[in-house]
Structure formats: C-alpha cells, structure tokens
Structure 1
Amino acid sequence: MRQNPARRTALLDAAIEVLAREGSRGLTLRAVDAEAQVPVGTSSNYFFNRAELLRQIMRRTRERLTPDPAALAATMAATPSPELVALLLRQVHQRMDADRSSYLAMLELRLEGTRRPELGADLNKILSAELEDNVRFHQDAGLPGDRVTIILMYLAVHGMIVDDLTVPDVLSGSAGELIDELSGRLLGNSARDTP
C-alpha cells in the first residue's frame, strides 16, 4: 500500500465528493480515480478494498467537519450561557452547510452501515464517541443543560441539518432562528434574543 499522505487525502476528498453526489452505488475505486483526476488504478494502490475505503471516508469526514481549534477557542472565551449554546449549535450548522459533501457522505455511510455490519459497527463506535465527546465538552465548559438536554439538542440539530441539506423547503424559518428557538425552549428564553 502506498503511504503518500497528501495523495491519500486527495483521494479520500474525491471519494467524499463521489459518495455525496452519486451515492453508495456510484462509489467505485475507478470513480474516485476519475474524480481525483489520477490514473486509473491509483486508488487501488491506497485502499485494500471498498470496505477499507468506506472506513477511511468515515474518518476523513470527521476531520473535515471538526471545528478549527482556534475558532472554537475564540467562541469559548464568552461566558457560558444559553446564548453561547445557541451560537455553538449555529456554528455546527454552518460547518455542515459549508461542507455539504462531507455531511451527505456521512448520511450515505449511515445507510450503507445498515447493509454492512462491519461498517455499521464502526459507525456506532465513532458516532457514540462523538456524542460522548459533545456531552463532555458541554459539561466541562460549564454550559447550561443536563445530559438529556444536551442529547436532545444534538439530535434535534442533526435532524434539522438532514432536512436542511436534503429537503430544505420542509423547514419553516431559517436554521439560525430554529436553533435559537430550540435553545430557548430547552435552556431558557434568553437564547431566543441572540442575533
């Protein structure tokens, strides 16, 4: 297997685009090569098989959707409050909206995980750890809300993002307004007053 990290990342980014655009059935090593504009067979030098490619796509989407540490630190300089929670949730939405391909690819991976038990097991581990990391971050930062409230916000925002990216006409109101309303109802009315 080849070990050029920059080439591997470029191939994974191409695979994310293919998966988001064409779905699971369209994701082939040949399609990844075409998207990355590399010679046919290049992807097979980096990924043992399709299952390995799917696992690495999962990891790469997480990297792409993780907030920039400096930007997150700047946000977290504010006093813990319902308004800060609403801001953090809006930033989650903004990251997903800015990298639609990664989020849509993750949706495709979730569907594929229902058909491939090994991928489903990997997804369960990664997404369970992500949820626990979010709960721990929220609690360690002293943000308002107990564990159940944090999980409800996580589920609601991710459900809203799915609709916003796939059937945007279903939602009434802007994502920011809906997030502020969600935060306000779960944490107190003050989150509704944020710009």
Structure 2
Amino acid sequence: MANRDRRDLLRDGAIGVLAEAGGRGLTHRAVDAAAEVPDGTTKNYFPSRDALLRAVAERIVELYQAAARRAAAGATPTSREALIAMLRGLLEDVAGPGRPRLQAYLELQAEATRRPWLAAVLDPIAAADLPGFAHAQRAAGLPVTPQRAATVTLALHAAIPHLLVGGPETLAATGLDDLDGFVRGVLATVYPEPEVR
C-alpha cells in the first residue's frame, strides 16, 4: 500500500473513531483498530495527539472540498424550488451518508475551542459555505445580500447538531421533523415572497 493510501486509511479510520467514540476515544490504538492495521501504525504516522488531530481535520477539509466540487459540477439551482430541493438534500445527508463525517467535524470543532491552531485548519469549511450558498441563492433568482446569504448558511449550520442528535421534541419544535418545510420557512423568512393580489 502506498504511503499516501495508508495515511488516508488512517485518517478515515480516525473519522470513524471520532464519530463513534468522540474526542476522548480518539487514540492511536483506536485508530489502528478501526483502520485494521498493526498496532503502532498510527503512532508511526502521527506521533502525537495533536498530529493526529491535525491529520483528521485536514482529511475532513479534503472530503468537504471534494463534496463541494461535486456539488458545483452538478446542476446549479435556477429557481426557488430547485434551491429548496438542493438545501433539503444537504440536510437529509446529515442523518444519512454524511453522518460520520459531520459527527467527527463537530467533535473537532469542540476540540478547536481549546486549540486555536485546529480552528485555523477547520476554518475553510465554514468560510467556503458562505460564498457557495450565496452563489446558489443568487442563481435561484433571490435578491442576495451578504447578510441574507449568511443568515441562510448559519440556519443550515445550526440545524446540523439537532439532526445528528435526533431528539423528537427538538426536531418538532424547530421544524426539523419536516426538512422541506424547514427550508421553505428559512427562505420565506429571509426572502419573503411577494403577496399575490
């Protein structure tokens, strides 16, 4: 196995460990087990806990950027309805295939509150969402301003932990038990549709 492939295997294993066991469970030994490699392999590649945290954060950023490139290569929403479908799909991914990556990302964000260098590694994710979502809103024909685009982006970000936890009362209280309705509500609040007379 090539060195790069082994590093990716270990970093992906670390994502799984963070998603399942949280920050306290992220150990070299746990990553060895998750990646199904001999004991000591992770420590050989990432000698300290900080090195391991940096490696998994960089992998999360790489995966995010790859997903953003795939999304950009897809159809740009050219209507409000298409934008609603796109945003609903992103939120549906939170509890689906994207769940482990997002759980790991939130664990890393918690670690980053105590490690400014880790916050700097993760910053490109949220920073890239702002222009990306602004572009999607503009393409859908909405009257975008930086504040409006940021409000939509932050509403989506705020939904993620609640979708991961899945508390039924919270989901119902926030409207997240109906993702289509939630997205429509956010857009209606930020971009009210003109009343038909």
Q: CA deviation at 1:139?
A: 6.8
What are the ranges of 5 or more consecutive residues in structure 1 without an aligned counterpart?
Answer: 191-195
> Are 2:124 and 1:126 equivalent residues in the alignment?
yes
Report what 1:88 is aligned to: 86
Report what 1:182 is aligned to: 186
Q: CA deviation at 1:158?
A: 1.3
Q: CA deviation at 1:9?
A: 1.1
Report what 2:162 is aligned to: 163
- Aligned equivalents of 1:96 and 1:51: distance in 2? 27
Structure 1 counterpart of 2:157, one-letter code: H
Number of positions where the alignment pairs a residue of Structure 1 with one of Structure 2: 186
- Aligned equivalents of 1:62 and 1:92: distance in 2? 17
Q: CA deviation at 1:42?
A: 0.7
- Aligned equivalents of 1:31 and 1:132: distance in 2? 35
The answer to whether the 8 Å contact 2:87/2:183 transfers is yes
Structure 1 counterpart of 2:121, one-letter code: D
Q: CA deviation at 1:140?
A: 6.9
The answer to whether the 8 Å contact 2:17/2:34 transfers is yes
Per the alignment, do residues 140 and 184 of structure 1 end up closer, same or farther by CA in structure 2, a change over 3 Å counting?
Answer: closer
- Aligned equivalents of 2:51 and 2:28: distance in 1? 11
TM-score scaled by structure 2?
0.80
TM-score scaled by structure 1?
0.81
Q: CA deviation at 1:168?
A: 3.3
**Per-residue displacement from partner, 1:148-188 (whole Å, max 9, x unpaired)?**
11111111111112101114311123223211221233224
Per the alignment, do residues 32 and 175 of structure 1 end up closer, same or farther by CA in structure 2, a change over 3 Å counting?
Answer: same
Q: CA deviation at 1:68?
A: 6.4
Q: CA deviation at 1:37?
A: 1.0
Calculate percent identity across the aligned residue pairs.
Answer: 34
Report what 1:22 is aligned to: 21
The answer to whether the 8 Å contact 2:16/2:104 transfers is yes
- Aligned equivalents of 1:131 and 1:155: distance in 2? 9
Report what 1:67 is aligned to: 67
